[in-house]
Structure 1
Amino acid sequence: MAGPLDDPAPLPAVYRSRSPAEPPAPPLEGDATADVAIIGGGFCGLSAALHLAEAGLAVALLEARGIASGGSGRAFGQVVPYAKHGEPHLLAHFGEAAGLRLIVALAQGPDLVWDLIDRHGIACDAVRNGLLFAAHVPAAEAGLEARAAFWQARGAPVEMLDAARTAEHIGSLRYSRALLDRRGGHINPLAYAIGLAQAAAKAGARLHGDSLATSLVREGEGWRLQTARGSLRTRHLVICGGAYSDDLWPGLRRSILPIRAHQLVTAPLSDNLRAGILPQGQSVTDTRRLYSGLRMLPGGRMHLSVDGSGFGPSVTYREKAAERLRALFPEIGDPVWEESWTGWVDMSADQYPHLHRLYDTAWAAIGLSGRGIAFGTLLGREIARRIAQPEHPALFMPVTPLKPMALRPVAEPLVAALMAWYRLRDRAELGGKA
């Protein structure tokens, strides 16, 4: 779904080169009808389309550009069983019962992703042997130990690694401790999204690209959506535009703040170099406040989520990323960057996704806050269940009222200043190093 934002570059070539062709998604033309209209062709919208079509409803999905052309096709690729905040924060924020229900559901997010990949034969370079979370300074180890203890008490395959095992898994002496969570993994997010689209189309969903919804009105018991070349009457409406949401539904765009996420990919490393870096295939993220993801792609390219400008013109801090890579893996030397891109993340005020019931027959999911793959897939299924199976026992996501973000008109400079403060704190804790 298009909004006030645009992306300055095509979808990542490193993703496109290993993704299948998109299923047919012609523009909406003429007058059409559906049981459910979905706006937005990212993880959440595609998951909702697939699960609703499998439930036997007539589904039409409208995407302003192409499938996964926004944040979903530009994501870093980690499949994470957590929200942005830790478990104690969820319990305090949502309350004991609702918080625990959400924690348990999120822990099952990777299983849902892996199940969809298997069931629909989605070829997306899925690596399922866990995620590494490393302590960037010794003071950060306590938080990782608390998370490990929380999940170990519940029988999850989560463990703390000592310095020797951390070095063994990462291939670097940089970190003293790390948490290994074997439930997670990483994928090609564009290929995964296209696979969801193929599965949804096979189940009967109608996909329409180049179909920006320009107006929305109540009509009888349902809704009428207008595009440049057609109209769609529907009983139920689902909006999953993420950071690219516009003002089709008043107030939705102003409930989140779009923030740029930056990524870099190196040229392929030699066989000797790649053999010693992340040798067991996990991706690693450390506990610093800003982006720090690192993984190995097929073909030996290193993929980093890195710091950069959060708003306005795109500026990726390449030298800072190179400094970090040299500190982790001195044998690489000066990295050769082969590709870079940015995408927009829909950040909510509390950094949790929000599920809104906009009207009796209208839903929106927004604010994924950098947890789009597993959480977005779960939310798509959640919306499908609320429409097709409203008494389903596994509903987990609290429904919250839509409200604009406080101080939204001045949020960008305030968040930019906060990000600058985070950079200073991270740098200070690391002794001036990246």
Structure 2
Amino acid sequence: MTAERTQPNLWQATAPAAPATGPLSGKRTVDVAIIGGGYTGLSAALHLAEKGVSVALAEARQIGHGGSGRNVGLVNAGMWVKPNDLIATLGQAEGDRLLTALGNGPSLVFDLIERHGIACEAVRNGTLHMAIGEDGMKDIRDREAQWQARGAPVSVLSADDARRLTGAEGFAGALLDKRAGTVQPLAYARGLAHAAVAAGAELFTQTPLLAAEKAGAGWKLRFPDGAITAQKVIVATNAYGDLVPRTPWQQHVGELTKLGYFQFATGPLSHNVARSILPERQGCWDTGLVMTSFRLDQQNRLVFGSIGNLDAIAEGTHRAFAKRAVRKLFPQIGEFDFEHWWDGRIGMTTTNLPRLHALAPGVVSVSGYNGRGISPGSVFGKALADHVTGHAGAIPLSETPVRPDAWRKARALLLGLGSKAKHMIDHRF
């Protein structure tokens, strides 16, 4: 995958340093072991340590190596599936629980940021779901009605108001969700890591899981230079669970369609230009079938993204599309070039909703965030911490068996080819 290639990732270039970590050496015995150093694993480690539970986290690469260091940085409320559709899939009771938990997700994220003093460019002025044409307006009006019925502070904006809040040309309107906001995503992950260490968690990096075996009522996990014995295990690898081939407890990878998402970032824009673009710093994405996103970082770089991988074949196509799109959306920028570009993986399920699995006795996992990793990862990390310490019903999902998707690779290939084809011909609006 392209995620393993060296790329000039903006978030890696501008995030504060992670806590000092290194590979596990020797043996550890803890109450809970966590596999994966993204939002879910770090949130779980932090909340477990705050309970006084001994916890060790093992990450195969570095903190935030996967989606947590590669996403757009939108702290959204809920999944992108509409509330009524979510309830139709999960049923009323479970659907209500999940919608409530994830609707409150941004509050958890921004509370963690404030409580632990995480420097991650946090802005909570909402997000904007940008409508393309009348079909897009119909979609966001439907979302507005469904969320307002649940008391959420969302509202549809006119084309003029959408233009005023974005400085972008060509949108029919937008849905403003005041619950949401933006962060520097890798900085948030590294901040969670610092908070977890300060609370007493042990974090190990460059420590891939190689094997696992039962040890009494718990598990003994083997790594290249050591071992961890734990009563409970949380697997928090999501779409990056196959970084190490034949790793135990990665069955859930077989049900995830791994969708690529790329981003390009300009250099810092001049003050005069920057003040005409997203003056309130909302993060944006649109209603297009091949979705695009845009936002500013703290240094006034414009970050533009869409579906696709930056592999050797597709990178030129996606780069050219990104340039055309930025010029069309923001003609006031004038001549520009991209200084950073990177891609990552989104783990998609067939229902477009996350799934809870018991992978073995005492081993639990939540995966499939479908492009909404920051808030759900933080929420489910906390819920998993409660779950493994005996709080029944802590996770707002029912446990399901792993159901491998035989079509996932074909689906990923078609989505990649489709996004590339659209970007070859798409000139926006």
Shorter-chain TM-score range: over 0.9
Displacement of 1:297 in angstroms is 1.0
Give the TM-score of the pair, scaled to structure 2.
Answer: 0.93
1:220-243 deviation per Cα after TM superposition (whole angstroms, max 9, x unaligned):
111011111111111001111122
Distance in 1 between residues matched to 2:299 and 2:356, nearest whole Å:
39
Give the TM-score of the pair, scaled to structure 1.
Answer: 0.92
Q: How many residues align?
A: 424
Q: Which range is displaced more, 108-117 or 134-143? A: 134-143
Report SS of the residue matched to 1:386.
helix
1:110-142 deviation per Cα after TM superposition (whole angstroms, max 9, x unaligned):
000001001111010001000001111111211
Matches within 5 A, 1:344-355: 344-355=345-356
Could you tell me which amino acid in structure 2 is paired with residue 76 of structure 1?
Answer: V
Q: Does the 8 A contact of 2:384 with 2:395 survive in 1?
A: no
Q: Does the 8 A contact of 1:257 with 1:348 survive in 2?
A: yes
- Correspondent of 2:129 among 119, 130, 133: 133
Cα 1:395–1:250, aligned 2, differ >3 Å: closer, same or farther?
closer
Cα 1:105–1:166, aligned 2, differ >3 Å: closer, same or farther?
same
| Aligned residue in 2 for 1:301 | 301
Displacement of 1:420 in angstroms is 4.4
Cα 1:259–1:307, aligned 2, differ >3 Å: closer, same or farther?
closer
Displacement of 1:157 in angstroms is 1.7
| Aligned residue in 2 for 1:59 | 55
Displacement of 1:204 in angstroms is 0.8
Residue 49 (str. 1) matches residue 45 (str. 2): yes
Q: Does the 8 A contact of 2:259 with 2:345 survive in 1?
A: yes
| Aligned residue in 2 for 1:242 | 238
- Structure 1 segments, 4+ long, off by >3 Å, are 309-314, 418-428
Displacement of 1:278 in angstroms is 1.0
Report SS of the residue matched to 1:82.
coil
In percent, how many aligned pairs have the same letter? 37
Displacement of 1:425 in angstroms is 7.8
Q: Does the 8 A contact of 2:34 with 2:41 survive in 1?
A: yes
Distance in 1 between residues matched to 2:309 and 2:413, nearest whole Å:
8
Q: Does the 8 A contact of 1:129 with 1:184 survive in 2?
A: yes
Cα 1:119–1:142, aligned 2, differ >3 Å: closer, same or farther?
same
Q: Which range is displaced more, 76-85 or 240-249? A: 240-249
Displacement of 1:312 in angstroms is 8.4
1:166-216 deviation per Cα after TM superposition (whole angstroms, max 9, x unaligned):
111111331121111111011001110011011111111100111111111
Could you tell me which amino acid in structure 2 is paired with residue 340 of structure 1?
Answer: W
Matches within 5 A, 1:410-429: 411-418=408-415, 420-421=417-418
| Aligned residue in 2 for 1:20 | 16
Displacement of 1:415 in angstroms is 3.2
Matches within 5 A, 1:69-148: 69-148=65-144
1:398-423 deviation per Cα after TM superposition (whole angstroms, max 9, x unaligned):
2211121233xxx3333332454567
Residue 288 (str. 1) matches residue 288 (str. 2): yes
Q: Which range is displaced more, 307-316 or 17-26? A: 307-316
Distance in 1 between residues matched to 2:424 and 2:173, nearest whole Å:
19
Distance in 2 between residues matched to 1:108 and 1:179, nearest whole Å:
18
Distance in 2 between residues matched to 1:391 and 1:307, nearest whole Å:
38
| Aligned residue in 2 for 1:7 | 4
CA-based RMSD of the aligned residues comes to 2.2
Q: Does the 8 A contact of 2:8 with 2:340 survive in 1?
A: no
Cα 1:419–1:137, aligned 2, differ >3 Å: closer, same or farther?
farther
Distance in 1 between residues matched to 2:423 and 2:85, nearest whole Å:
22
Distance in 2 between residues matched to 1:160 and 1:362, nearest whole Å:
43
Distance in 2 between residues matched to 1:425 and 1:290, nearest whole Å:
8
Q: Does the 8 A contact of 1:382 with 1:397 survive in 2?
A: no
Query: What runs of 5+ residues in structure 2 fail to find an aligned partner?
Result: none
1:342-386 deviation per Cα after TM superposition (whole angstroms, max 9, x unaligned):
112222222222111123311012222211100111111111111
Distance in 1 between residues matched to 2:13 and 2:412, nearest whole Å:
35
Query: What runs of 5+ residues in structure 1 fail to find an aligned partner?
Result: none
